[in-house]
Amino acid sequence: MTNRDDWDAIVVGSGIGGLVCAAYLAVTGRRVLVLEQHDVAGGNSHVFRRRRAYEFDVGVHYLGDCGPGGVLPAILGGLGLDKRITYREMDQDGFDEIVLPSTSMFMPAGWDRYRRRLKETLPEDAAGLDTFLDICEALGTEMRSALLSGEELTVADLVARTPVTLKWGRHPLSGLFDHCGLSARARTVLAAQSPNYGMGPDQATVSMHATVTDHYVRGAYYPEGGGQMLAAGLVESLEAHGGALLTRAHVTRVLVDGGKVTGVGLADGRSFSAPLVVSNADYRRTVLDLVGAEHFPAKLVTKTREAAMGLPFATLYIALDRPLPERRNANLWWYADDDIGTYYRRLAEGDIDPVSFLFLSFASQKDPQGRAVCPPGHSNFQVMTLCPPEYDRWGVTTGPADGTRYRRVGAYRKSKEEFTEAMLTAAERAIGPFRDHITHLEAATPLTHERYTLSTGGTPFGLADWGGVGVRPDTRTQVEGLHVVGANTRYGSGITGVAVGGIACASAIVGRRLMHEVHDGAVLGDADLLPERDERWDPLAVSRGTGRRHARGLAGIDR
């Protein structure tokens, strides 16, 4: 199938947004080719293995809204994957533990419980919390209702149905904090999970905060088998319906003739033709490099060149030869200061040592039956913190997407080692001593992230400011036949955000309200076409595509 040169649609990049779009185009009758420059599909959802003993999730740490009627299960279920991708509940009475020097709180599922918990923790802010939560809950409900609507909403419909969103959605989160008269401590507790969208309260909009909060307040979950299960299921659906995935296929050009896309060209000289190209690549690189600025209006090119990106992460992947101390099945959001505004100001100034914020995700607690996570009696967890976006923080002036070979640069290695030490010191402040039990320690910087995903600045969050606060591209572009998906679009980042963008893009192409259809129970994919899975089935191997499924170099797990 992949020997053919002409396709109905080509998807550049295999993050979850690209795979969702590709799978829906395939199940609605298009011949679809997905091209991925990395060794496996999945983008920020992929996993990697070490020492034949540990499997680490790169970007899937928890998912919201995966219970009955959930958005992500509906999207995957519409492809016939409801029995192949399942979810484990985290502690619904406290799936996120927020720890400040002066207080701590477990965030529960359910807006009513969340409100009660906040007012118990912050009684002096009770009145302001009510105002804040009334606005966020209403906005989250309005946005979700609009997403699931079965009809195309006009501007007049939106004005009538989303009054809170129209009033508050584009305001900065800090503006709503001011309106509610909230203390610094209350602002920190409320915005503690703001690294979920890579922006502080002065930059993030109320809409972004409210929709992400609403997403998790509807319940927190983890995919059984880890994040690679998402990509593997989508690849199975794509291939079962006549599509194909090529990995190690680096697209360097989207071909345009007479204002219309005609296909793509690869780094190895191959080319494939199609009248429709969906770019799941970084938006800035799509416009300026893959397509070329000459094919877009000058104003769009200017704001794309000048766009600010969400903040990137540095991550430690850690395995221990002992279990973690007993704790709830909850993430930990740890802050060394009660004022989140001070934290983001320090970050903007490049002042990140000592490390004053950490997110800890405990994979071996979330999926204790997962055969690949770690051996019995061991533990597996990730420690993450936000970083300044500038390259010079890491001792280089350009990034790997521009061809910079940074990993052996002395200044980079020194910066990475020093920051690893600072993160370990903070992590032991957060959860107690563990260094004597480390069996694997690996650090990833924003340059690491950029090397694997080619995202501008190594961020998983996409655009933070694209010519205006809260402004982001739609999936359609000004070039005929060219669409975009992924973390840079108006549908947001995170697994569910990009999945929603993927199905929205497919909907625009096929002219159907697919999100409404599948949330209403429609199954467009034929589950009978999906391949059988035996005891040797490996989601990482499946995510390489049929042509490279059995190629050498795939890391295994000894169990």
Torsions phi, psi of 381, nearest 5? -150, 165
Mean pLDDT of 47-52: 96
Reported residue count of the chain is 559
Which of 222, 58, 57, 55 lies closest to 558, judged by CA? 55
DSSP state, residue 442: E
Q: What percent of the chain has pLDDT over 70?
A: 98
Q: Over 80: is that where the pLDDT of 154 sits?
A: no
Instruction: Decide if pLDDT at 2 tops 80.
Output: no
pTM comes to: 0.96
End-to-end CA distance of the chain: 35
Give 23's pLDDT tier (boundaries 50, 70, 90).
Answer: very high
Give mean pLDDT, residues 424-437. 97
- 271-330: per-residue pLDDT in tens? 999 999 999 999 999 999 999 999 999 999 999 999 999 999 999 999 999 999 889 999
Q: Domain spanning 9-86+224-306+467-548 has what CATH number?
A: 3.50.50.60
Label residues 284-294 b or e (16+ Cβ within 10 Å = b): bbbbbbbbeee
Task: Please give the single-letter amino acid code of residue 29.
Answer: G
Residue 370: C-alpha distances to residues 363, 364, 376 (Å): 9, 8, 10
Note the pLDDT of residue 369: 81
CB atoms within 10 A of CB 202: 15
- Determine phi and psi for 444, rounding to 5 degrees: -125, 130
Domain with CATH 3.50.50.60 in the chain: 9-86+224-306+467-548
How far is the C-alpha of 210 from the C-alpha of 216, rounded, in Å? 10
At residue 3, does pLDDT exceed 60? no
Question: What's the whole-number mean pLDDT along residues 113-122?
Answer: 98
Q: Tokens 């108006």 sit at which residue?
A: 490
Question: Region 491-502: what's the mean pLDDT?
Answer: 97
Which structure tokens are listed for 83?
């029995």
Q: Are strands 87-89 and 220-223 parallel, antiparallel or unpaired?
A: antiparallel
Are the CB atoms for 43 and 462 separated by under 8 Å? no
With 0-12 CB in 10 A as exposed, 13-18 as middle and 19+ as buried, what is 389? buried
SS3 of 227-293: CHHHHHHHHHHHHHCCCEEEECCCEEEEEEECCEEEEEEECCCCEEECCCEEECCCHHHHHHHHHHH
Name the pLDDT band for 469 (thresholds 50, 70, 90): confident
Q: Report how far Cα 314 is from the mean position of its chain's Cα atoms.
A: 15
* 251 pLDDT above the threshold of 70: yes
Taking each helix axis as running N to C, give the angle between helix 206-217 and helix 173-180, from 0 to 180 degrees, rounded to the nearest 10. Answer: 80
- Scan for tokens 């401590």, then name that residue: 185
Bond preceding residue 354 cis, omega within 30 of 0: yes
- What share of the chain in percent tops pLDDT 90? 91
